[in-house]
């Protein structure tokens, strides 16, 4: 096997699942690392996100291959969406018969595929790996928290993005042998795409000056599905816009809710635009004075870039971005005043130098450690209890 894994280890067949926008930047470096190791990666797109802006644009920017299987489940209630993914994924798994099923993040597709694989793994002799394991918000009202906890319970191998995930898993009784620290695969994509993102000169195209504008994103049900909450957040953002332009790429769910609740006018002071592609988003975030968001991924990307971030949520499952990075939580419950104050503090804090406030393992090589961990724990291989990140793999 050329360029593949040495030491006589056989190549693995790995079924990699992606479903929604925040998954695509996580699977791209994993597919590349598996390819370099000589393994066969089979990509499944569940179709949870299907709009060109939410899906295709990401495939193009990230250089993702055409999925081998597209399940086309689309939007529906949580139960229906999860059930559709399960029904469609089962025959794929039976047909591919991989050594590994790799699921990433915390979306409905993540849990659905882990659940299907958990019932077939003994029959097929495959294992389940969860990338981004061990994150906890402690907030059971979030569908993502349910997805995270249950996926971790089902997975054979839990690959963590930061050290603070380990006590969370230990507290749930998960054996340390199943847990390996690999670092943050999303930062692999960020660092790989940053030069191309900067060349796009997105701030100039949007008519804003680097370092003198804010970026905002909103899509959490807790912020956008309740008229009072959405209106409070939008009025906070509108007041920040009195100080500097606020670029606001609007999630489809948020656009629909704002229209339904008749609060669309509150967006008038904002530079509201359609969702951006991956590189464009990185480009616009990289030039921002501050990012205001309820997204999980952006909390991490801002920390890696050194850009101050205000998280518009009660809790974060990524506390390492607050303790070691550039993130802070806006005062809870969210009010326009609280958002304006938190934004002011974040802007005053200023940008951190690259790598100055960046957690361990957010170094552009996490996916290589994922591929190494999969090989070390492959079905038939003896379990190895060690830490691939500190061993410099």
What number of other Cβ atoms are within 10 A of residue 35's Cβ? 15
Q: Which of 5, 10, 13, 54 binds ligand UD1 (CB under 6 A)?
A: 54
Rounded to a whole number of angstroms, the minimum distance from the CB of residue 10 to ligand UD1 is 34
Report d(CA 228, CA 208) in Å as an integer.
Answer: 30
For ligand UD1, the closer of residues 30 and 112 by Cβ is: 112
CB of 314 within 8 A of CB of 295?
no
Measured from the CB atom, is 35 or 227 closer to ligand UD1? 227
- What's the residue count for the chain? 393
Name which of 193 and 299 has its Cβ closer to ligand UD1: 299
Asked if 365 is an active-site residue, the reply is no
- Rule CB under 6 A: say whether 318 interacts with ligand UD1: no
Site for ligand UD1 (CB under 6 A): which residue of 26, 41, 108, 306?
108
> How many chain residues bind ligand UD1 (CB under 6 A)?
18
Please list the residues that pair with 273 across neighbouring strands. Answer: 249
Beta bridge partners of 70: 45
The contact pattern for ligand UD1, residues 6-35, with x = CB under 6 A and - = no contact, is: --------------xxx-------------
Query: Which one, 85 or 208, has the nearer CB to ligand UD1?
Result: 85
Angle between helices 185-199 and 366-376 (to 10 degrees): 150
Distance CA(190)–CA(362), nearest Å, equals: 10
The correct pick among 39, 61, 106, 164 for binding ligand UD1 (CB under 6 A) is 106
Using the rule CB under 6 A, which residue among 35, 38, 50, 387 binds ligand UD1? 50
d(CA 191, CA 168): 28
| Residues 387 and 21: beta-carbon distance below 8 Å | no
In DSSP notation, 211-279 reads: TS-EEEE---HHHHSSHHHHHHHHHHHHHHHTTS-EEEEPPHHHHHHHHHHT-GGGGTTSEEEPPPPHH
Backbone torsion region of residue 155, taken as left when φ is above 0, otherwise alpha when ψ lies between -120 and 50, otherwise beta: beta
Of the residues 99, 219, 251, 365, only one is catalytic, namely 219
Choice from 39, 61, 132, 144 touching ligand UD1 (CB under 6 A): 144
Contacts of 140 by beta carbon, 8 Å cutoff, 6+ apart: 146
Q: Is 51 in the site for ligand UD1 (CB under 6 A)?
A: yes
- Starting from the edge strand earliest in sequence, which strands make up the sheet with 271-273, in order? 271-273, 246-249, 214-217, 290-293, 309-311, 327-329
Quote the least distance from Cβ 69 to ligand UD1, whole Å: 18
Instruction: Output the 3-class SS for 114-156.
Output: HHHHHHHHHHHCCEEEEECCCCCCCCCCCHHHHHHHHHHHHCC
Segment near ligand UD1 (CB under 6 A); pick from 48-56, 160-168, 235-243, 277-285: 48-56
Q: Figure out which of the listed residues 143, 211, 264, 379 binds ligand UD1, where binding follows CB under 6 A.
A: 143
Single residue of 60, 75, 204, 262 touching ligand UD1 by CB under 6 A: 75
107 interacts with ligand UD1 by CB under 6 A: yes
Is 36 or 253 the residue whose CB approaches ligand UD1 more closely? 253
Among 49, 130, 178, 365, binds ligand UD1 (CB under 6 A): 49
Measured CA to CA, the distance from residue 12 to residue 387 in angstroms comes to: 21
Nearest distance in Å: CB 138, ligand UD1 = 16
Is residue 261 a contact point for ligand UD1 (CB under 6 A)?
no
Among the listed residues 122, 125, 116, 181, the one whose alpha carbon sits nearest the alpha carbon of residue 151? 116
- Smallest gap from Cβ 47 to ligand UD1, in A, equals 9
* Per CB under 6 A, 179 contacts ligand UD1: no
Give the footprint of ligand UD1 on this chain (CB under 6 A).
20-22, 48-51, 54-55, 75, 106-108, 143-144, 219, 252-253
| Residues labelled catalytic | 219
């Amino acid at each position: 096997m050329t360029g593949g894994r040495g030491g006589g280890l056989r190549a693995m067949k790995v079924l990699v699942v992606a479903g929604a926008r925040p998954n695509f930047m996580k699977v791209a470096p994993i597919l590349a690392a598996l390819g370099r190791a000589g393994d066969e990666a089979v990509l499944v797109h569940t179709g949870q996100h299907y709009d060109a802006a939410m899906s295709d644009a990401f495939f193009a920017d990230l250089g993702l291959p055409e999925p081998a299987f597209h399940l086309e489940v689309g939007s529906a209630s949580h139960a229906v969406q999860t059930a559709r993914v399960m029904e469609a994924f089962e025959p794929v798994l039976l047909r591919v018969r991989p050594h590994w099923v790799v699921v990433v993040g915390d979306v409905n597709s993540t849990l659905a595929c882990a659940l299907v694989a958990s019932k077939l793994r003994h029959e097929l002799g495959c294992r389940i790996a969860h990338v981004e394991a061990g994150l906890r918000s402690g907030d059971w009202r979030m569908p993502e928290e349910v997805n995270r906890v249950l996926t971790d319970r089902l997975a054979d191998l839990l690959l963590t993005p930061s050290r603070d995930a380990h006590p969370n898993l230990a507290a749930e009784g998960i054996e340390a042998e199943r847990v390996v620290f690999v670092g943050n695969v999303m930062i692999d994509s960020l660092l790989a795409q940053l030069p191309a993102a900067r060349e796009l000169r997105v701030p100039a195209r949007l008519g804003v000056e680097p370092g003198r504008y804010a970026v905002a994103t909103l899509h959490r049900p807790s912020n956008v599905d309740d008229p009072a909450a959405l209106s409070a957040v939008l009025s906070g953002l509108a007041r920040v816009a009195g100080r500097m332009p606020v670029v606001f790429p609007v999630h489809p769910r948020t656009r629909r809710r704002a229209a339904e609740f008749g609060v669309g006018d509150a967006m008038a002071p904002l530079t509201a635009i359609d969702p951006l592609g991956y590189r464009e988003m990185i480009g616009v975030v990289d030039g921002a004075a501050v990012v205001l968001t309820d997204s999980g991924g952006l909390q991490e990307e801002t920390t890696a870039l050194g850009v101050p971030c205000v998280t518009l949520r009660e809790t974060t499952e990524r506390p390492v971005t607050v303790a070691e990075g550039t993130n802070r939580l806006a005062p809870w419950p969210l009010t326009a005043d609280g958002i304006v104050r938190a934004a002011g503090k974040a802007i005053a804090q200023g940008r951190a130098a690259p790598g100055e406030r960046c957690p361990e393992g957010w170094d552009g090589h996490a996916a290589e450690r994922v591929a190494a961990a999969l090989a070390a724990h492959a079905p038939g291989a003896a379990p190895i209890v060690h830490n691939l990140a500190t061993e410099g793999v």
